[in-house]
Structure 1
Amino acid sequence: MSEFSVGRERVLTVGVAVARSGRLANLGDPLDFAMTLMAEKLAGAGPAGYRIRLAGRDTRSSAEGARQAVDELVADEDAKIVLTLAGTQVLPAVADACEAAGVPCLSSAFPWQVYYYGRGADENRPFDWTYHFCWGLDDIADTFADLWERVDGREHTVGCLWNDGPQGAWSRHPEHGFAPAAGARGHDLLRPEPYREPATAMALDAHVAAFRDAQVDIVTSAATGQDLALFRSRAAEGGWRPRLITCSRWLAYPPSVTSAGGRPAQAGVATLAYWTPAHPYVSSLDGMTAAGLAEAYEQRTGRQWLQPLGLAYALFEVAAHALTTAGDPTDRRSVAVAVGESRVRTIAGVLDWTAGPVPNIATVPLAGGQWQPGTRHDYELTVVTSGQVDGLPAAGDLIPT
């Protein structure tokens, strides 16, 4: 028997590949916290006769570390499924290693087109072992278009501050990216040459000049906090300021990097609101609410809640569901099939792999938010448009500069 055994109790192991060192260590906090919170809850949530245990490995914030983490989780821990969250280079490396090793993988916090097409799959050739849930680049474009149209209620020319990495490249993709969805809403995109991360002042000065000369008043991006802070500083020094910046990716996290005038890079920036304490979501595993999870994080860590908390918690919910519904929870192929057939009500919403949009993928609906001065924290993510999220009220109005 390949599964772990404790006395007469049989144990099913869920492996967790999480960044605990290196430059992405802070991005690993939500998954690490959810793992700690779920360890005891999942022990009794497995199929009859089994206990679920969690085993983690540090990805060290690198593709090489990610592959090693998967190897150890499979060989040393006998993981029946591996979970991971975030990291432009790390997440695909975890998924690819699981695909090669023949172990189910579940991940999130990465636009699904980048995950799916970027790793070589298509509608006729899906992955065998790896599954994902997230929003798409087209969903980001629609959410941002909702926000742009609240500035003067019209269509705009939008300046694109895009890097030369995977998200920037796929945002420009003529079929699967951000650009066609934004264009379908009637907005023109001004797209200078992409910059290389980390950005330099010279590279961003070229973007500032292009946007200023074209009289662009809205900018969209997927920049890191550091690069966005530099962009805003260079724009301010050049005497130009857009009326609105929309930015995805790292801007889902609470403010930490300062920009011109000592303000956080996020101050006034509009972004995705994919999970907040106000989202009307409840875990079907243990009844945890979005508000309850955010409060638990703040109480236990003393830090401001994070959007990826909901996605991290949902990873464990889906893993437990797959192990419980699999025909044979000790067989990795059976567990993979169970993930692909899952429709689960989670703290991140209903995740449905039977509905597409392509095999291996379940989608997460988006609302629009803006980082505004808060009451409990200096800046808080305020929901300004409910977007695709049923039952989520707007808590404030969009405030252009």
Structure 2
Amino acid sequence: MAEPVLVVGVVAARTGRLASLGDPLAFVLSRLRPELTRIVNGGRSYRVRLASRDSRSTAQGARQAVHELIADEGAHIVVTLAGTQVLPAVADACEEAGVPCVSSTFPWQVYYYGRGASDSAPFRFTYHFCWGLDTIAETFADLWELADGPERTVGCLWNDGPQGNWSRDAQRGFAPVARARGHHLVDPPAYTEPADDLTGHVEAFAAAGADIVTSAATGRDLARFRATAAEHGAAPRLITCSRWLAYPPSVTAEGRQPAQAHVATLVYWSPAHPYRSSLDGTTAARLADAYEQTTGRQWLQPLGLAYALFEVATYALRTADDPTDPAAVAAAVGRTRLETVAGPLDWTAGPVPNVATVPLAGGQWQPGRRHDYELAVVTTSRVDGLAADADLVVGR
């Protein structure tokens, strides 16, 4: 009798404006596909097949990808990461179809409350692991205080989309946590992405004496802001930015510094993190090295989280009461406590149902030894076993 087959579906952006965000997931898929071929659940052996679809960097494409993975491939669980519009579309499509989904790299408050769940009414099939807006605020406040001490005036470069609106949220956002640390936030009228003119923000920050700026801007809009500030003779002493900063900057063809140069950001995964995979014992350092050796490109922060997606999916299929039953697989994710190459993940601890958290360190893109810019780790108090390897560089 042939072994039954369990299918792990993967939604990754391979075309469109988010294609580079799909690189880590595509790399992990290619690495694991020949190795992750069989699991044992309750003494019974199952073949495993990994199937993927391109989200095409759009919410509509993401929904279509989920439909094809379920209808054409028979996916028993779906994994995905990245994309402000794309990731929620994948999760919503899976929730509607009654197929388990695990995702990452999206602040958990936006994932959970932004998709309509509440503390008393969680999702049935969709699960997530990530940091939160509160943790981003705490990490950035650590950086601000390292730069200039307590109670800073900080300019907020926030858009009018989900990133900016949730950062402002009075109950669950970034702003209340930063203010509770004693910092004064200057938040001019939100800009529409992509930004056309950020002069108003530059002028508002200057008027308030805000020489530290925090943002969730794209690389393009961050570059526009820095150029506009330079035109007005206003160079922030420090910029902290949480979005798009997972991808290494490089010197432009004209020899100019990239927008991300010396920007401080989140460090959620690096080769120095003291973690290893539950699948094969791969360490964070070995995974980053394999990516660089195979692709010829610099390692990326989402790489560790991409690998952990497969760890969680495999663990759920191994431990579910019935790995062919969607409700049983979803329940298995919900009780998962697992040491992964992205760190310890525990869905039994909350902070809300469907969510496990990832700790953050503070980092900064600084000129590197092997690459134009490398992500230096400068604050580590929130990540056990991780050491700082550089000092924060602050402008005058």
Question: Normalising by the residue count of structure 1, what TM-score does the alignment of the two structures yield?
Answer: 0.96
- Flag the 1:248–1:260 CA change in 2: closer, same or farther, 3 A: farther
- Give 5+ residue unaligned stretches, structure 2: none
Measured after TM superposition, the shift of residue 173 of structure 1 is: 0.1
**Is residue 315 from structure 1 mapped to residue 313 from structure 2 by the alignment?**
no
Decide whether the 8 Å contact of 1:273 with 1:383 is kept in 2: yes
Among 104, 110, 113, which residue is 1:114 paired with? Answer: 110
The residue that corresponds to 2:296 in the other structure is 302
Identify which of 377, 383, 400 aligns with 2:377.
383
Which of 284, 287, 290 is the aligned partner of 2:281?
A: 287
Contact 1:17/1:69 (8 A) holds in 2: yes
What is the match of residue 338 of structure 2? 344
User: In the alignment, is the contact (CA less than 8 A) between 1:229 and 1:259 conserved in 2?
Assistant: no
Q: 1:107 to 1:257 in 2, by over 3 A?
A: farther
Number of the residue aligned with 2:178: 182
Q: Which residue of 2 aligns with 1:214?
A: 208
Give the secondary structure class of the aligned counterpart of 1:388. Answer: coil
Q: 1:1-400 maps to which residues of 2 (within 5 A)?
A: 8-47=2-41, 48-200=44-196, 202=197, 204-256=198-250, 262-400=256-394
Distance 1:266 1:288 in 2: 30
Question: Aligned partners of 1:322 and 1:388: how far apart in 2?
Answer: 28
Segment of structure 1 superposing worse, 68-77 or 40-49? 40-49
Unmatched tracts of structure 1, length 5 or more: 1-6
Residue 148 of structure 2 aligns to a residue whose secondary structure is coil
Q: How many pairs are equivalent?
A: 393
Q: 1:387 offset after TM fit, Å?
A: 3.2
Is the contact made by 2:150 and 2:182 (CA closer than 8 Å) also made in structure 1?
A: no
Identity of aligned residues (%): 70
RMSD: 1.3
> Which contiguous aligned blocks of 4+ residues in structure 1 show a shift greater than 6 angstroms?
none
Determine the C-alpha separation between the residues in 1 that align with 2:76 and 2:336: 16
Normalising by structure 2, report the TM-score: 0.97
Note the alpha carbon deviations across 1:358-387, whole angstroms, 9 max, x for none.
Answer: 000000000000000101101000000103
Alpha-carbon offset, residue 389 of structure 1: 0.5
Using the TM superposition, give the Cα deviation of residue 153 of structure 1 relative to its aligned residue in structure 2, in angstroms. Answer: 2.1
Q: Is the 8 A contact 1:244 1:270 kept in 2?
A: yes
Q: Is the 2:9–2:77 Cα contact (8 Å) retained in structure 1?
A: yes
CA contact (8 A) 1:368 1:387 kept: no
Q: Secondary structure at the match of 1:118?
A: coil
Q: Secondary structure at the match of 1:56?
A: strand
